[in-house]
Amino acid sequence: MVAGLTIASAVALAQEMATIRPVTEHGITYVSGGVGEEEVSAMRAMAPKFNLHLVFAQKSGVYLADVDVVIFSPSGQQVAAMKSEGPLLFVSLPPGRYRVTATSDTVNMTHWVTVPAHGGADINFYWG
């Protein structure tokens, strides 16, 4: 019975991962999602493939979706722009320093981040 549940869980995770597909635009690959437990599990399984991990939530703890994100180089050149379909957004960027701006309900927040050559960086955006 336990093996059956494990196989069923693996099948469900594989199906969920199939619906969450990385997108590549202008040489930058990203994936977003995290609505529901299965999607969160699928996103966590994909996380090691990306070196920038963003989380979007209200200060109350309610997670947010449909967040517009723009990533800039230190000189102000736009590197990438995307809309996160869930509270998790993972991006694969060349190592370096970036300014990340996220907009939810017309409220902008900006964080600076250094993406390392090895490992990753995390940013949590919390709206009041």
The residue type at 58? Q
- Strand partners of residue 4: none
Cβ–Cβ under 8 Å, residues 85 and 32: yes
pLDDT digits (tens, 9 = 90+) for 26-85: 999 999 999 999 999 999 999 999 999 999 999 999 999 999 999 999 999 999 999 999
pLDDT of residue 15: 47
Cβ–Cβ under 8 Å, residues 42 and 14: no
Listed in sequence order, the residues at least 6 apart from 58 whose beta carbon sits closer than 8 Å to its beta carbon are 64, 126, 127, 128
pLDDT of residue 27: 96
pLDDT digits (tens, 9 = 90+) for 88-100: 999 999 999 999 9
Q: Cα-flanking dihedrals φ and ψ of residue 7, to 5°?
A: -65, -45
- Strand partners of residue 92: 29
Which domains does the chain show, CATH number per domain? 2-127 (2.60.40.10)
The pTM (predicted TM-score) of the whole model is: 0.85
What are the strands, taking DSSP E only, across 5-77?
23-25, 28-33, 52-58, 67-72
Separation of alpha carbons 63 and 29, rounded Å: 23
